[in-house]
Structure 1
Amino acid sequence: MTRRTTPQAKTDERAFPVRIRLQVPLNGFGLQFDTVHLWLDRIIGRGNYAWHSGGVTAGRDCVVLYFRSTADADGFCSAFPELGLADGTCYPGYSSPALPFGRKAGEDEAVCNLYNVTTTQEAMRQLFRGFAFADRVGNLEPGSIYPDRRAPIIRHDGQALELVRARWGMPSPPSVLKTVRDPGVTNVRNTSSSHWRRWLGPAYRCLVPVTSFAEPLGAGNGNQWFAAADDAPMFFAGIEVRGWQSVRKVKDGETIDDLFAFLTTAPNATVGAIHRKAMPVILTEPKEWETWLSAPFEIAGKLQRPLAEDALRQIEHPI
């Protein structure tokens, strides 16, 4: 996957219909270069993609990948979500007829689209030992959770609770979809919206296990991670829907999935120092977990508030 000559780059620019521009990681691709190379050769196939230098955006080197179909490009982005797009429209100095003065500060900022789970299944069972509890996830590996990935949630199953996997991203409001593909909504703030109200009852609420979560530090600057100050167990206040039929990825066509997202709220001082607009709704007490899973929304909805100022700490790496 060596860089091609400039004439070949011009040929590929004219020939390939789909392209994505990526930021080179701060420390380079390293061993991931070989991983990406093998994936492209095996999954996309030689001759069906091209790789070229993409110049520099906001002081960061970039590369451009060319594909023959949107499905191939979507598959690559799903396989390597940690490789950030070089979205120059988010940087100072960008303007267009639609944005003559550029984007407002903070516009399009992601809100917690990455978190980590290392809580064991046995630990979760012990947290809910007073309830009938069914573990249906099989072998749960600890690690980072990205949008559209399957992750553990705790939800109702008749008279019991069950630990299952669901896909991160609730159905999007139809008004925001430009194509048949629905990438999903990872977090929900406006609970007064008619789109979300249908999933606010106890039957659709869930708890999302989390041990640490990330907020972006800005384009090209990585993430700031947060964890409980006392290492106490935490859950995001989630909502879920089962058996939803949609097109999540063009290459997969229509699929039927159990989906989830979690609520956000105004940030406390700890998170607000990094992300001024929002933070996830985090529940740390057994009484809160029970209220979220079972109380009417007039009561449970009061949990959509910032966590106490001293309840979180900043950490360098996920735990």
Structure 2
Amino acid sequence: MCNLYRMTASVDEMKKLFGSFEGERSNVAAQDEIYPKYAAPVMTREEGALALREMEWGFPGPKAAGGRPVTNVRNLSSPFWRSALANPERRCLVPVTRFSEWSAKPDPATGRKVKHWFGLKERGEGERDALFAFAGIWRPGEERPYFSFLTCAPNAMVGAVHPKAMPVMLDPDDYDQWLGGSTEEACALAKAYPDDKMTQFA
């Protein structure tokens, strides 16, 4: 389960990856650590055009389960996610520059689990972390909208740290299929990202 990621890209970097979009700002604040219930930038498609919005990470959870935010979408056939996945207007792109998984066992020296950061092997401008996107879904809320993102079985790199799952990472060629495809076409993108395109940061 991914419950921590980073988004440090500028608006100019977002334009280069996603193209032009509505809700444009001169910049967005760099966020080194985004946890559940934090607000973060999300790209939606509205009337055929991309729009930059701020949303809270994590769908409000069922009261029976304590109401904790649900941040990751793993079971794509679950009734909890079905309506959002079936509606292209509720799919979104979550801009990311790194994501973290915790070690399975604590560090013997500190007794604490260790954060392992992952991202793209290619570098961005000025050797910055390259921007990419998770496959996300969103829903309206009373105060602000909420988002979560899909996870899938991990590749070898992430699986060595967290064998249960990794976020669904999309290439730019996948964006139209994710944002506008049928439910089956969209869910077909829920697969591990190639190891050879990724790096693990020290």
CA contact (8 A) 2:44 2:92 kept: yes
**Are 1:134 and 2:134 matched, yes or no?**
no
1:222 is matched with 114
Matched, 1:263 2:161: no
The counterpart of 2:39, out of the listed 137, 150, 155, is: 150
| Paired residue secondary structure (1:140) | coil
- Counterparts of 1:174 and 1:208, CA distance in 2: 26
SS at match of 2:195: coil
Q: 1:167 to 1:137 in 2, by over 3 A?
A: farther
Other-structure match for 1:307: 193
Residue matched to 1:70: none
> What SS does structure 1 have at the residue aligned with 2:196?
coil
Q: Once superposed, what is the RMSD of the aligned Cα atoms?
A: 1.6
2:131 to 223, 228, 233: 233
Mapped partners of 1:169, 1:196: distance in 2 = 12
Q: Distance in 2 between matches of 1:137 and 1:208?
A: 17
- Residue 125 in 1 paired to residue 45 in 2? no
Between the aligned partners of 1:189 and 1:151, the Cα distance in structure 2 is 21
1:195 to 1:138, Cα distance in 2 relative to 1, 3 A: farther
Report the equivalent of 2:127. none
Q: Report the alpha carbon displacement of residue 176 of structure 1 after superposing the two structures with TM.
A: 1.7
Distance 1:134 1:227 in 2: 27
Paired-residue identity, %: 40
1:286 aligned onto 2:184: no
8 Å contact from structure 2 (residues 13, 131) kept in 1: no
The 4+ residue runs of structure 1 with deviation greater than 6 A are: none
Cα shift at 1:137: 5.6
Shift of 1:112: 1.4
Contact 1:137 1:165 in 2 (8 A): no
Aligned residues: 188
**2: CA distance, partners of 1:292 / 1:263:** 11
State whether residues 136 and 164 of structure 1, in contact with CA within 8 Å, keep that contact through their aligned partners in structure 2. no
Whether the 8 Å contact between 2:44 and 2:52 is mirrored in structure 1 is yes
User: Secondary structure of 2:76's partner?
Assistant: coil
What displacement does 1:173 show? 3.3
Deviation of the 1:123 alpha carbon: 1.5
Does structure 2 retain, via aligned residues, the 8 Å contact 1:114–1:145?
Answer: yes
3-state SS in 1 of match to 2:137: strand
Counterpart-to-counterpart distance in 2, 1:212 and 1:286: 17
Matched, 1:160 2:49: yes
Once the two structures are superposed, residues 139-184 of structure 1 have per-residue CA deviations (whole angstroms, 9 ceiling, x without a partner) of 411122111000001002223110111000012234423xxxx331
The match for 2:96 among 191, 201, 210 is 210
SS at match of 2:22: strand
Give SS of 1:310's match. helix
What is the distance in 1 between the residues matched to 2:63 and 2:8? Answer: 35
- Choose from 174, 186, 190 the match for 2:71: 186
The one-letter code matched in structure 2 to 1:198 is S
Is the 2:9–2:97 contact (alpha carbons within 8 Å) kept by the matching residues of 1? yes
Q: Does the CA-based 8 Å contact 1:137-1:152 persist in structure 2?
A: no
Question: 2:72 is matched by which residue type in structure 1?
Answer: N
List gaps (5 residues or longer) in structure 2: 107-111, 124-129
How far is the alpha carbon of 1:126 from its aligned partner? 2.4
Change in Cα spacing, 1:214 to 1:194, as seen in structure 2 (3 Å) is same
Q: TM-score under structure 1 normalisation?
A: 0.56
The alignment's TM-score, normalised by the length of structure 2, stands at 0.87
